[in-house]
Structure 1
């Protein structure tokens, strides 16, 4: 039998399960004690509902805050980042075992977290793929950043590492290219063939400015090709001095305009580098401080440009910087149908044979190749389309969107999976109509 003391504790006080002692509860919060006598059943029900909702919100917030799955993801990515492109299965297994151990530690607080469940299933698949045993050594723990240093100052001139520490995942990348006529593949996977004679900006944001200058490929033709590229890496106080790179036909330097090959004397100067991949034909510029890689090529009498940029960097521009071919494509008045401009040059069938040798898939790269070779009569334009496709293989984040299939210069892309869906849907509709 309860004593009166025990009974009164149930009305005015609640004892925490942790044993820290009674916590007083005001009778104004809930309709209990004497105030409950004057409370209608409807008011009491509403109050209880609000309290239950408040409890659930607080509980969910606590559970979400306690779930450390993003930290586990971040540690795994950091451990495997140096292993990319290698076949070090033992090191991968160590990292996976550490990843698995980390998820087990946070399993209680992550039960309702979809990211957590995806990670658990992903670990199982990867361990099977790399033939890993569940028992064995683990990857060394990631060093703790000193509190006085802070995340902001850690690797501030390495965009990918900084993003990983802040968000627990790698950044999303985008790809743009301009080659041949020029043909422009935008960050949004739209594809245009442009006349754009003269100087036009490919990019103009807070970090980069890229301008292409074009000239007619043949007398009396609407088709043009890029003869000059100007790339400006804007001053970034913590990392690099402003650097300018200029390339022209038959002059593809492996250095910036001031003769340097990096970002200058600042502590992060090495985060911007330039190197020659093929003498006089292919130069690569890596800007690690903004998560960007640029390829400049020469094929025949034209230059091509390809870029892989972090999405956050590609979107860092104002409304005034609205004319960017990599963002919005060619203005409608400057778009050229690939059925136009075919004067002189070379027979279409010969051009198709030449392009087929370099580009077996008849996508927009193949179509652009045929257009350029027919228009210019220069078989070297097959190299331009082939080089652009090779850059796309390296730079595009989604292999399924590598190839674009379309019938005209102004159409949106049609990827292969999308074409299959269209064909299947059309067949189903036809069957329904016949029935």
Structure 2
């Protein structure tokens, strides 16, 4: 096969048209990995074009690309094996030498609890969209919304997958709290996005997304009125977003206080029934009190924690919250009483108490 001047002209104008128009049907994903002069890549592009033919048939860029590829006379090129029947090859497997037991886990769930890569469990109040993870392979953004009068919940998860050779095509997965069931396809309607990407609907309300070339695994779950996301990454891909640095101190919520004893007991019983202990139990009690949905909040919390544990996460070593005003006032009062008692003892023994020595 010999290239002619007309081949270059067709490809040049095709490329210029493509660059200056928005992609509405996903045809650019077929063009992104094309490398001029390679019939193997042409075959892969044709295979991709056949999958988007129905959605893109009326798109002028689709017709331009098809025409350009036809003029290359690569009819003998063999299309690559389909991604569905061809599991990720060695080239699409994360290889960094990091043992899997050192990989990090992160999760966002409930109202709203963040389990960081470092093992802290934080309760945050941050309304809006925030980056949970952002690296060269993917971006995970979470959207928090108000729920009732005093609660916030995770309402949307957006996973942006970045193009990575034949392992991944650029695409987006979205899960919304209103989705029932959760989508089993990407935002453009496709079910495939490269040899290293696997999207599986484990149940109507639970989805798994795996990027083998990045060592990433995500579990997204909808439980009643609650949405959760748990993920696992190699430590070198942790990034500097919420999963690593956590919420700012001003966004962390204090532990609940002033609640009736019977209400605390009911919440505790419901959360223990969901097999929660330690910091996870405390977070669950917080959710029950904040949302007023005793059974639903406890079940959602238990399910989210189960996803984290499936990814290999251990129990958080501590729960990080702002101390409540009541706790601070109590601690201050205790310090004053202790100081007065110490002053009284010293005075009784004839010791001089210097002003400011007891605080």
Question: C-alpha distance in 1, partners of 2:183/2:319?
Answer: 37
Quote the residue 1:37 is aligned against: none
**Cα deviation, residue 298, structure 1:** 1.0
1:211 to 122, 133, 141: 141
**Cα deviation, residue 392, structure 1:** 2.1
Q: Give the TM-score normalised by structure 2.
A: 0.60
Task: Write the deviation string for residues 210-257 of structure 1: whole angstroms up to 9, x where unpaired.
Answer: 1111112221x2x31111111111121242111201111131211111
Quote the residue 1:275 is aligned against: 200
DSSP 3-state at the match of 1:262? coil
**Cα deviation, residue 325, structure 1:** 1.1
Question: C-alpha distance in 2, partners of 1:168/1:229?
Answer: 28
2:173 to 234, 239, 245: 245
**Cα deviation, residue 261, structure 1:** 2.1
Structure 2, unaligned stretches of length 5 or more?
1-88, 324-359
Quote the residue 1:404 is aligned against: 316
Q: Give the TM-score normalised by structure 1.
A: 0.50
Higher RCO (C-alpha 8 Å, min separation 6): 2
**Cα deviation, residue 188, structure 1:** 0.9
Task: Write the deviation string for residues 322-372 of structure 1: whole angstroms up to 9, x where unpaired.
Answer: 4x21010001111111226x889x9222111111111252x1111111111
Question: C-alpha distance in 2, partners of 1:409/1:249?
Answer: 26
Question: C-alpha distance in 1, partners of 2:285/2:256?
Answer: 11
8 Å CA contact retained: 1:171, 1:311 = no
**Cα deviation, residue 201, structure 1:** 1.4
Question: C-alpha distance in 2, partners of 1:364/1:169?
Answer: 27
2:290 to 353, 365, 375: 375
Larger radius of gyration: 1
DSSP 3-state at the match of 1:351? helix
Quote the residue 1:156 is aligned against: 91
Task: Write the deviation string for residues 239-294 of structure 1: whole angstroms up to 9, x where unpaired.
Answer: 2111201111131211111112221xxxxx23201111121x21111111100100
Q: Which runs of 4+ in 1 moved over 3 A?
A: 167-172, 405-408
8 Å CA contact retained: 1:213, 1:227 = yes
Query: Cα gap change, 1:395/1:258 in structure 2, threshold over 3 Å: closer, same or farther?
Result: same
Query: Cα gap change, 1:243/1:377 in structure 2, threshold over 3 Å: closer, same or farther?
Result: same
DSSP 3-state at the match of 1:211? strand
Quote the residue 1:128 is aligned against: none
8 Å CA contact retained: 1:233, 1:242 = yes
Question: Is the counterpart of residue 294 in structure 1 residue 209 in structure 2?
Answer: no
1:325 to 217, 229, 242: 242
Question: Is the counterpart of residue 285 in structure 1 residue 197 in structure 2?
Answer: no
Q: CA-atom RMSD, angstroms? A: 2.4
For 1:81-100, list aligned pairs within 5 A. Answer: none
DSSP 3-state at the match of 1:196? coil
Query: Aligned pair count?
Result: 231
For 1:9-408, list aligned pairs within 5 A. Answer: 155-159=90-94, 162-163=95-96, 167=97, 172-219=102-149, 221=150, 223-251=151-179, 252-263=182-193, 269-279=194-204, 281-315=205-239, 322=240, 324-339=241-256, 347-361=263-277, 363-378=278-293, 379-396=295-312, 402-406=314-318, 408=320
Query: Cα gap change, 1:313/1:262 in structure 2, threshold over 3 Å: closer, same or farther?
Result: farther
Query: Cα gap change, 1:274/1:332 in structure 2, threshold over 3 Å: closer, same or farther?
Result: same
